[in-house]
Amino acid sequence: MNPTAGSFTINPRLQRHFCVFSLSFPGAEALSSIYSSILSQHLGGESFSSALQRSSSTLVQLALALHQRVSSTFFPTAVKFHYIFNLRDLSNIFQGILFCTSNCVKTPVDLLKIYLHESDRVYRDKLVEEQDIQAFDKLQTDTVKKFYEDMEEELQQTREMNLYCHFAWGLGEPRYMAVESWSSLSKILLEVQDSYNEVNATLNLVLFEDAMAHM
């Protein structure tokens, strides 16, 4: 049942065939417990450092705070009808973080960087106006500064380039790692394009930075 539009009642003759459950939206404490359990369980294995495990609760609080600010700042309109931010977006962020291994994330700063990448992919990529993108960048920076101190340099670096993918080190075994540079990413994608063109109709892509980031 849509709580904002349409019919709010069900015909009793139909409803009597079903059990009815009413479930309230989880509060901040419940969300913190859910995502802290997920993240701490992941960081508890695979040779992750104890410092990383201790920092997981801070990252969860950051993620919940940013999600709250984004969902209360950007609202759907007739043009921006897709500006809907819910728990699916929050889950997608943590799903991305769970791809990381101890080779990818060694320090709490690395964990913050991969979170910033995932939040950009989930929230920032939905935004269609430059004004909204700038507003999100400011929201993200301000929220990070509330939970992490002395992060100016790292935040500046992430604005220049902060990308993670399964093919950052080439086309071998997929490993979720940080992309080293635009040139290395371009080289990998050109190799993929060449191998594709050997067995398919020729495809020539112009690999500018936005296109590579999208891939």
Domain residue limits at 64: 28-179
Mean pLDDT over residues 145-174, rounded?
85
pLDDT reading at 137 higher than 60: yes
The closest alpha carbon to 27, from 73, 70, 75, 64, belongs to 64
Whether residue 60 is found in the same domain as residue 109: yes
- Rounded to 5 degrees, φ, ψ at 6 are 80, -165
Whether residue 153 is found in the same domain as residue 89: yes
Mean pLDDT over residues 185-213, rounded?
88
Whether residue 99 is found in the same domain as residue 148: yes
Distance separating alpha carbons of residues 173 and 184, to the nearest angstrom: 17
Residue 189 belongs to some domain of the structure: yes
Task: Tell me what the pLDDT averaged over the chain comes to.
Answer: 88
Return the SS3 of 163. Answer: coil
**Of all residues in the chain, what percent carry a pLDDT higher than 70?**
96
Residue 139 belongs to some domain of the structure: yes
Mean pLDDT over residues 205-211, rounded?
86
Total count of domains within the chain:
2
Q: What is the pLDDT of residue 171?
A: 80
- Rg of the chain's alpha carbons, rounded to an integer? 21
Whether residue 206 is found in the same domain as residue 148: no
Whether residue 90 is found in the same domain as residue 38: yes
Residue 15 belongs to some domain of the structure: no
Residue 94 CB neighbour total at 10 angstroms: 18
Whether residue 124 is found in the same domain as residue 58: yes
- Rounded to 5 degrees, φ, ψ at 165 are -160, 170
